[in-house]
Structure 1
Amino acid sequence: MKKIVLTGGGTAGHVTPNIALLPALQAAGYEIAYVGSYEGIEKKLIADFNIPYTGISTGKFRRYLDPKNFSDPFRVMKGFVEARNYLKNYQPDVVFSKGGFVSVPVVRAAASLHIPCIIHESDMTPGLANKLCIPVAEKVCCNFPETMKNIPADKAVLTGSPIRAELAQGSRLAGLNMCGFTANKPVIMVIGGSLGAANVNKAVRDALPKLLEDFQVVHLCGKDKIDNLLLNTPGYKQFEYIKAELKDIFAMADVVISRAGANAICELL
């Protein structure tokens, strides 16, 4: 049986495209394993799919001064050793990376073992983690044509973003009931990713009195970003993050406001 290792994490946006690939990979006969951080969001999300999960040490790559910039490189080096030992033992045929800082030691370890790596870049321009992985990748899957000019021509492939099929199979009525909304007023969905987007959150909340004149608003504001002062506002519903019911929110929404990192939504709609 062919084996594939998926990696990526730090935010849900670095995990959910991997989850979207699972049915096709399973149908193609792949044995699937996941490598992520010890306790990151990727571990929680993958737990729902009975995929073997291995945690490694990780460190964040920062472009600003921070005391952790002195300690995190050692965590990354430890993660590289852990990933290399795991991959050497598991012997996958390929590694697929969705990016995020957790993916760097995995991809670099795979390359050191001559295991082919495919990575995916969601944004217009590659993030720092993917920039560190592109030199050793076989192929780089891109969401946008504009991204391809930033990737070596022999590696760049325009693929779009993997989308979970069930996200197109939601129930508008279920979404309305979950939010306590009425069916006779359009709905704006606001999403900034699993960690939220501070500028988006502030802009929407500042404009809320005007928005609620003509719309109902469901706001996926990110972990620990609930505004308690707005909890009982009629026509406004906040969630930190939604998993299984996300398809119903999509089905209910008439307009979507999202930041660039949540671009998979725009492709779906």
Structure 2
Amino acid sequence: MAEIPEDEYLLKCTTACAGCSAALALRYVLKAAGPDTVLVVPACCTSVLQGIYPNTAFAVPVYNIAFAAAAACASGMSEAFASEGKKTNVIVFAGDGGTVDIGIQALSGALERGTNFLYICYDNEAYGNTGMQRSGATPIGARTTTTPGGKTDTKKDIDRIIAAHNIPYQATASAAHPKDLFEKVKTALATPGPSFIHILVPCPPGWRIPSDMPVTVGKMAVKTGMWVLWERKYGELTINGPSRAVMKKRLPLKEYLSLQGRFKGITEKQVNELEQQLGKNLAMLAKEEAGEC
């Protein structure tokens, strides 16, 4: 990946868990954004991995904000920079809890207003910072501390909720595919107006996987179609990279589920429901890319 700069804005002294793929994703986000960047971080794991005050592992300014207010804060910050003629990148880096659940009202408002910012949801499919409670992004069948027998509700489709706002740029990405992530962040920041990137970040303690497995699990999510890499520019969708091959032939979903302790005890009915959701999503994406919907 020679085109990715060697400059580091996430330093080695983070207090992240071993194998944290959210930190890996943020590393490449900041490489793409560069030093003229401000992060807006609501309550989430990223609030913690910065380190203990007065020290920090971040080499860019960070504004830590309340759970529900990240997008609202970023709106004001973006307007303030613009009023001074500055082109500083304003990036919200928020977990799924602060995006799919608690922060969704402020996010919707910011997108409607046309805020010139990049909102990134790094999705470990639960409230990781407070003990791995279920969130709206937790998939059916997954065990969390508040769903010890497995979640019985389906995952909220935040991507199609965002798409309803008709923003200029939207994409999915994975910490296991850093080049794809890097390029999408560059594209998002070069596109005027609001952008949204949804990143899958497998969590070792929460997903009950070894600390050396997040990249393997992330790649398996793509190979099975559980996570599809795509981008939508001004309403036109393109399925990216490894996911193009998956549209023709994908690995069995159980190969992804079996790697994770959080799916221990998942029922055959729940696996079938996940399969149906997965197939429906792939079909809808294929139709959209072909211009059929």
TM-score, length-scaled by structure 1: 0.36
TM-score, length-scaled by structure 2: 0.34
